[in-house]
Structure 1
Amino acid sequence: MRILFFLVALLFFLFQAAPAYSQEDPDTLACRQSHGSCSFVACHVPLVEIGTCRGGKLKCCKW
């Protein structure tokens, strides 16, 4: 019974955090929609910089 309570609480927490994803910066959403990833450092050789993330603070890299 304790496991069931824990699983319900975990699911509630996961679904509660989901709407926060839609509050990201527009450039971060555009990067993720184009299948890129945000990076603190410059994109390395196999990756190409395709934009920015977090309001221009990070680089958006893609294969």
Structure 2
Amino acid sequence: MRLHHLLLAVLFLVLSAGSGFTQRVRNPQSCRWNMGVCIPFLCRVGMRQIGTCFGPRVPCCRR
């Protein structure tokens, strides 16, 4: 029974930690808070877009 409680706690931590990264970034300050970088045009190789910085043309990218 204790194993079930432990697994439930681990599952809760995994799901709650991932929920913060699913929200879209919409300005440069929140981009930096989410460990991202504002890069004009396209994200570099090895990075993915997590939102936008100033408008739809400037993506916020993170490794």
Task: Provide TM-score, normalisation by structure 1.
Answer: 0.51
Question: How many equivalent residue pairs?
Answer: 38
Q: Which runs of 5+ in 2 are unaligned?
A: 1-25
Alignment of 1:13-28 (within 5 A): 27-28=27-28
Rounded to whole Å, the distance in 1 between the matches of 2:57 and 2:42 is 11
| Deviating 4+ runs (over 6 angstroms) | none
Deviation at 1:49, TM superposition (A): 0.4
Give the aligned partner of residue 44 of structure 1: 44
Letter in 2 for 1:29: Q
Q: Which runs of 5+ in 1 are unaligned?
A: 1-25
Task: Provide TM-score, normalisation by structure 2.
Answer: 0.51
Structure holding more strand per residue: 1
Structure holding more helix per residue: 1
Secondary structure at the aligned position of 2:31 is classed as helix
Identity %: 34
Give the aligned partner of residue 62 of structure 2: 62
Q: CA RMSD of the aligned region, Å?
A: 1.5
